[in-house]
Amino acid sequence: MKKKQTTLKYLLLVIAGIFLGAVVFSNFEFRMGSGGITLTGKPNFATAKNNIENYPIQTLKSFNEAFVQIAESTTPSVVTVFTEKKVNERVMTPFHFFGNPFDEFFGNPHRSPDKSRRNVQRGLGSGVIVTEDGYILTNNHVIDGADQVYIRTSDNRRLDAKIVGKDPKTDLAVIKVNATGLKAIPFGDSDRLRVGEWVIAIGSPLGESLARTVTQGIVSAKGRANVGLADYEDFIQTDAAINPGNSGGPLVNINGELVGINTAIASRTGGFEGIGFAVPSNMAKQVLTSLITSGKVSRGYLGLNIQDIDDNLAKGLHLQRTEGVLVGTVMEGSPALKGGIRTGDVILEFN
């Protein structure tokens, strides 16, 4: 009797298990295929939000929102710069029937001259609006030699631009469009920028289809010189991603202020490798003012060559000490010549 009760108990448990399984899986259908089991149906996914309210997460959310606000406030000031340049291309005259191919190399006075045709070279870069009435900062190498320049704004307007002035020594240029009410970016003080600060680069890398791309990084270094990019080098180095097409676009700080003009990258492959350079905003502002005012940048100079005085030079010149510098050549009409400095003079100090 006891054995029958035990058997009945197990049988009821099995029946209950089958019933529960039928209820749980009644909304699903299993299909067998060569790739295994596929579950079809309407599973009940979790709808409750994660209750993440601790301090680190809230800090990250605030940090995230800060970047969003910077991007939203600065991208309307960024434009894509297009250039067109007309060039003559040589068109080789085909060989005459049974002609001599060596004539192509050694010449033939009876051969008809080669023809040339006009072609258009197109270029693309970035720029940043610095005044509401249409002055735009960009790189000199973006617009240098262009016959036509035009821009496209963040609201997709195409505006013709004229070149106001260029400064190859800093690789900066200013162009102007006839428009009002544009969103001008505020200038920041690049001298106060510190290594390690967050910065954002905005531009049109690799083409118009990627216009106003936003990338972020930090200030890797300041005062970079002797990198072979311009005569006057005081670059901000950053690891914010910069690629061809970014040239002339803004580098901004976390206050949404312009702190640099993205200019170039250091790369072994031609692509971004984490080393980008930007002209500091303080230098750019000085160049901007000069180009708008006079169309050029005037810089002070002395107009002379000098040489350090070492022991041998001091002995040869019968000098009592190895201090100061020896004046070599003095340029005609230079401020140095007008000031009375002559070749062979020794300058001990100046003020």
The token pair that represents 215 in the structure block: 């990338």
For the chain, how big is the Rg over CA atoms in Å? 35
Window from 22-36, 81-95, 164-178 with minimum mean pLDDT: 22-36
Length of the chain: 351
Q: What is the CATH number of the domain that holds 286?
A: 2.40.10.10
Of 126, 204, 247, 290, the catalytic one is: 247
Percent of the chain at pLDDT > 70 equals 77
Kindly state whether residues 231 and 326 are assigned to the same domain.
no
Asked if 325 contacts 314 with a C-beta cutoff of 8 angstroms, the reply is no
Structural domain tally of the chain?
Answer: 2
Whether 26 has a pLDDT exceeding 50, the answer reads: no
Q: What is the pLDDT of residue 178?
A: 96
Residue 160 lies in a domain: no
Answer with the residue of higher pLDDT: 6 or 261: 261
Rounded to the nearest 5 degrees, what angle is found at the Cα of 173, between the Cα atoms of 255 and 270?
A: 80
Q: How confident is the model at residue 336 (pLDDT cuts 50, 70, 90)?
A: confident
Q: How far apart are CA 345 and CA 255, in angstroms?
A: 52
Whether 14 has a pLDDT exceeding 80, the answer reads: no
The sign one gets for the Cα dihedral 307, 312, 318, 323 is: positive
Residue 154 lies in a domain: no
**Can you tell me the mean pLDDT for 290-306?**
85
Q: How confident is the model at residue 287 (pLDDT cuts 50, 70, 90)?
A: very high
State yes or no: is 318 an active-site residue.
no
Asked if 288 contacts 302 with a C-beta cutoff of 8 angstroms, the reply is no
Q: How far apart are CA 31 and CA 20, in angstroms?
A: 21
Query: Of 272, 294, 316, which residue is a domain's last?
Result: 294
Kindly state whether residues 286 and 322 are assigned to the same domain.
no
Q: What is the pLDDT of residue 7?
A: 53
Whether 211 has a pLDDT exceeding 80, the answer reads: yes
Residue 320 lies in a domain: yes
Tell me what the pLDDT averaged over the chain comes to: 82
The sign one gets for the Cα dihedral 48, 50, 53, 59 is: negative
Kindly state whether residues 241 and 198 are assigned to the same domain.
yes
Asked if 132 contacts 125 with a C-beta cutoff of 8 angstroms, the reply is no
Which helix (H) or strand (E) element contains residue 70? helix 55-74
Kindly state whether residues 253 and 312 are assigned to the same domain.
no
Kindly state whether residues 240 and 330 are assigned to the same domain.
no
Kindly state whether residues 289 and 211 are assigned to the same domain.
yes
State yes or no: is 334 an active-site residue.
no
Residue 267 lies in a domain: yes
Answer with the residue of higher pLDDT: 221 or 4: 221
Kindly state whether residues 287 and 333 are assigned to the same domain.
no
**pTM check: above 0.85:** no
What is the three-class DSSP state of 244? Answer: coil
Residue 244: give the domain boundaries. Answer: 190-294
Which pLDDT tens digit goes with each residue over 158-203?
999 999 999 999 999 999 999 988 999 999 999 999 999 999 999 9
Q: What is the pLDDT of residue 97?
A: 45
Q: What is the pLDDT of residue 40?
A: 53
Kindly state whether residues 252 and 201 are assigned to the same domain.
yes
Kindly state whether residues 250 and 338 are assigned to the same domain.
no
Which pLDDT tens digit goes with each residue over 217-255?
999 999 998 777 788 888 999 999 998 899 999 999 999
Q: What is the pLDDT of residue 111?
A: 58
Choose from 96-100, 101-105, 119-123, 213-217 the range with maximum mean pLDDT: 213-217
Kindly state whether residues 279 and 309 are assigned to the same domain.
no
Residue 290 lies in a domain: yes
Residue 184 lies in a domain: no
Asked if 108 contacts 93 with a C-beta cutoff of 8 angstroms, the reply is no
Q: How far apart are CA 107 and CA 101, in angstroms?
A: 10
Contacts with 30 (C-beta within 8 Å, 6 or more apart), sequence order? 37, 38, 39, 40
Residue 92 lies in a domain: no
Phi-psi region of 243 (alpha: psi -120 to 50; beta: other; left: phi over 0): beta
Q: How far apart are CA 97 and CA 292, in angstroms?
A: 60
Which pLDDT tens digit goes with each residue over 304-316?
888 888 888 888 7
Q: How far is CA 101 from CA 107, 147, 210, 308, in A?
A: 10, 37, 47, 61
Residue 324 lies in a domain: yes
Choose from 8-22, 141-155, 259-273 the range with maximum mean pLDDT: 141-155
Of 126, 141, 239, 281, the catalytic one is: 141
Of 171, 204, 220, 290, the catalytic one is: 171
Kindly state whether residues 335 and 275 are assigned to the same domain.
no
The amino acid at residue 265 is I
Measured torsion, CA atoms of residues 319, 325, 329, 331, in degrees rounded to the nearest 10:
-130
Kindly state whether residues 245 and 309 are assigned to the same domain.
no
